């Protein structure tokens, strides 16, 4: 256990995610409840290096729990990847009286938090990314909202695919991971789901579509994780080899916005609370996560070294019920 923390900083870093505001709110309120001062840092590690920060009070986080994006803004900061940048950030923390830091972001942001912790500023990471690609947690803030947005969009696409007897090939986000694709795919009744984690055979997919067409199905949805890429090419191949008119859609950043779902708001609140509880005891170099229904924490390096399994069983179910 480290020394007691009197002032903490909070920042959001990397890609934004719905629910980040709920996490910021929980951090600020838990800290103030415990007599800890809170400094909000704007635009991730950039704000730390530029001194772009302000003291937050109970009302600074009013009316934000329902808002997507992040009121603290977010950014990617190259300077912080260099040892000199981390050293500079440490000195700014000391000058500003910040003796603990909550970093809400993804794996990259956690690496930065680890580096700063190693220089003596206790940092705690909270997983915030729509991709759910962080190994030290079953769940990342923003994932549920993004999946729901994806499904809502695909439902709309399905209406027009049905009217035109078309095949719609839809790319969803996820960076290198296929978790959004798998879950959105099963939830919107996709005929095929293509993810980077599993091998994919275009000819097998074409055969499946032709087979299903013979049973009377007239329109099709194919969900592709962005890590696989080239939805236009896939749509062209489907059209050329099946004769079914096909269209490609890239959902894009619509999946990053919008009001967070209940799940995102609740988990963000729990994680924000947990992060401050650690810092309150002077404990840093930890990442908060979720295992089953429990909020847990790990050493950052231990967390970064973990490997996230892909849910092959769910993929199998999706495949078997889309015949």
Between the alpha carbon of residue 95 and those of residues 31, 112, 276, the distances in Å are 20, 19, 21
| Residues 194, 234: Cα–Cα separation, whole Å | 10
Q: Is residue 45 near ligand ADP by the rule CB under 6 A?
A: yes
Residue 130's binding partner among ligand ADP, ligand F6P, none (Cβ under 5 to 8 angstroms by kind) is: ligand F6P
Q: Does 129 bind ligand F6P (CB under 6 A)?
A: yes
Residues 145, 268: contact at Cβ < 8 Å? no
Query: How many chain residues touch ligand ADP (CB under 6 A)?
Result: 17
Closer residue to ligand F6P (CB): 31 or 173: 173
248 binds ligand F6P (CB under 6 A): no
Print the binding letters for residues 180-219 with ligand F6P: x by CB under 6 A, - otherwise.
Answer: ----------------------------------------
Q: Which residue has the tokens 């092959």?
A: 312
**Subset of 119-148 contacting ligand ADP (CB under 6 A):** 129
Cβ atoms of 234 and 209 closer than 8 Å: no
Query: Does 308 help bind ligand ADP (rule: CB under 6 A)?
Result: no
Query: Which residues, in sequence order, are bridge partners of residue 119?
Result: none
Check 16, 99, 107, 131 and give the catalytic one: 131
Q: Which of 115, 131, 197, 297 binds ligand F6P (CB under 6 A)?
A: 131
- How many residues are there in the chain? 323
Is the CB of 109 or the CB of 322 nearer to ligand ADP?
109
Residue 43 binding ligand F6P, by CB under 6 A: no
Helix axes of 20-33 and 262-280: crossing angle, nearest 10 degrees: 40
Task: Count the neighbouring beta carbons within 10 Å of the beta carbon of residue 90.
Answer: 19
Q: Is 275 buried (19+), middle (13-18) or exposed (0-12) by CB count in 10 A?
A: buried
In this chain, which stretch among 169-177, 213-221, 241-249, 284-292 interacts with ligand F6P, using CB under 6 A?
169-177
Phi/psi at 255 (nearest 5 deg)? -70, -15
Note if 99 is an active site residue: no
Smallest gap from residue 247 Cβ to ligand F6P (A): 22
As a whole number of angstroms, the distance between CA 267 and CA 270 comes to 5
* Residue environment code for 107-118, b if the CB has 16+ CB neighbours within 10 A, otherwise e: bbbbbbbbbbbe
Contact pick of 22, 24, 41, 130 for ligand F6P (by CB under 6 A): 130
Per CB under 6 A, which region of 25-33, 55-63, 126-134, 291-299 contacts ligand F6P?
A: 126-134
- Interface residues with ligand F6P (CB under 6 A)? 15, 129-131, 173-175, 226, 256
- Interface residues with ligand ADP (CB under 6 A)? 13-15, 45, 76-77, 80-81, 105-109, 111-112, 115, 129
Q: Which residues are catalytic?
A: 131
């Amino acid at each position: 256990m480290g020394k007691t923390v009197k002032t903490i900083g909070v920042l959001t870093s990397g890609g934004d995610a719905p629910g980040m505001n709920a996490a910021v709110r929980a951090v600020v309120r838990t800290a103030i409840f415990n007599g800890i001062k809170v400094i909000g840092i704007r635009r991730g590690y950039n704000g730390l290096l530029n001194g772009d920060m302000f003291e937050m009070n109970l009302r600074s986080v009013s009316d934000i729990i329902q808002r997507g994006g992040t009121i603290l803004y977010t950014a990617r900061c190259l300077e912080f990847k260099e040892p000199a940048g981390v050293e500079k950030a440490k000195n700014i923390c000391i000058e500003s009286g910040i003796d603990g830091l909550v970093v809400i972001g993804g794996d990259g942001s956690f690496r930065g938090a680890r580096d700063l912790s190693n220089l003596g500023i206790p940092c705690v990471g909270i997983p915030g990314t729509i991709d759910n690609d962080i190994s030290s947690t079953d769940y990342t803030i923003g994932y549920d909202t993004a999946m729901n947005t994806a499904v809502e969009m695909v439902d709309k696409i399905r209406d027009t695919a049905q009217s035109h007897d078309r095949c719609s090939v839809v790319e969803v986000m996820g960076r290198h991971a296929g978790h959004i694709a798998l879950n959105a795919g099963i939830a919107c009744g996709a005929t095929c789901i293509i993810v980077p984690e599993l091998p994919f055979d275009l000819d097998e997919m074409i055969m499946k579509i032709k087979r299903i067409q013979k049973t009377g199905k007239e329109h099709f949805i194919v969900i592709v994780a962005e890590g696989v890429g080239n939805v236009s090419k896939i749509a062209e191949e489907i059209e050329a080899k099946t004769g079914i008119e096909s269209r490609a859609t890239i959902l894009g950043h619509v999946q990053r916005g919008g009001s967070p779902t209940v799940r995102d708001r609740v988990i963000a609140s729990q994680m924000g609370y947990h992060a401050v509880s650690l810092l309150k005891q002077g404990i840093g170099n930890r990442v908060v996560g979720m295992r089953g229904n429990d909020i847990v924490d790990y050493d950052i390096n231990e967390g970064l070294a973990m490997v996230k399994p892909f849910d092959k069983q769910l993929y199998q179910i999706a495949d078997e019920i889309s015949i």
